[in-house]
A = this chain, B = another copy of it.
Amino acid sequence: MSLLADLKDSGARRSKSARKLADCVVADPEAVLSMSTAALAARVSVSEPTVNRFCTGLGLKGFPDFKLQLAAELARQQPRVAQDIESGDSTSHVMAKIFESTRASLDTVQAALDDSAVEQAAAIMDGARSIVLFGLGASASVALDAQHKLLRFGTPVIADTDIINQRMITANLSEQDCLVCISYTGRTIALQEAAQLARASGATVIGITAPGSPVAQHSDLVLAVACGEDTETYTPMTSRLAQLVVIDVLTTVLALRKGTEFTDHLLQIKQALASTRHKQ
């Protein structure tokens, strides 16, 4: 279990000094790394052995070990930084930066994504008669990907990336249907109109988009995917990765809701695909 999370846990049974120590560490973990037992003891007005007992009480070998664990944990949770790519960079350099920036955007999305919104979205999709997915531009491929994943659940799924088709599909929606609008900026006019129309016809609209955007405003439920704009010329487009992970989360939570009924579907699908593949 994670050290800092453990210390933050206010429910844990802890003595008065242990509490003081935990609070101090949580308040400024970095600072603790450069302290000795004596320094930390003085900081929270306890004796040195108390600091040591605090560490051993946590299941560690002692104060130095505690600092080591803390350093490791801080390093681990330290958010990655998106790195701008410059024209002089070597290929391996570029690769490293792209991977790092991708990780950074994962961090951002993870921080912004709300559990309960995901849960609600899964509930809506679980109850829906059919699921429709719209996306344009970079989000078009995300919509198709989502369709591919949702096909495994048995519920009818339509993904379309043609605004004329989208209009036609929207016109046929009813209260039992669910429309998922995918847009990074949330400012695509065609998509916002689709959301508006769908809602007018009673369908539930889920937006995978920037919170507060026009598309978000016309959605019943928003899954916030907010990373910074892709301003730099050479920045990889992290937006669709973010959206895809959200799709992953959504479909997995949905799969768990569906439970066993869905495992059978999977088997059928695997058999249907078998003949399209080389044996080995």
Contact = CB atoms under 8 A, between A and B. Distances in A.
A233 B262 CA distance: 10
Given A67-B68, A278-B189, A145 B266 contact: no
Interface stretch (A10-18, A196-204, A251-259): A251-259
Interface in A236-264: 236-237, 240-241, 244-245, 248-249, 251-253, 255-256, 259, 263
Interface string A50-75: 00000000000000100111011111
Interface stretch (A87-95, A124-132, A170-178): A87-95
Contact of A187 (B115, B185, B280): B280
Contact of A255 (B71, B188, B234): B234
A110 interface: yes
A37 to B, nearest CB: 12
Interface residues of A, number: 73
Contact of A137 (B87, B110, B148): B148
Given A141-B144, A185-B277, A115 B98 contact: no
Nearest to A69: B71
A142 B33 CA distance: 45
Interface in A66-110: 67-69, 71-76, 78, 85, 87, 89, 91-92, 94-96, 98-99, 102-103, 106, 109-110
Nearest to A74: B72
Contact of A148 (B98, B138, B149, B245): B138
Interface of A: 33, 64, 67-69, 71-76, 78, 85, 87, 89, 91-92, 94-96, 98-99, 102-103, 106, 109-110, 113, 115-116, 118-119, 122, 136-138, 140-142, 144-145, 148-149, 185, 187-190, 192, 214, 233-234, 236-237, 240-241, 244-245, 248-249, 251-253, 255-256, 259, 263, 266, 273, 276-278, 280
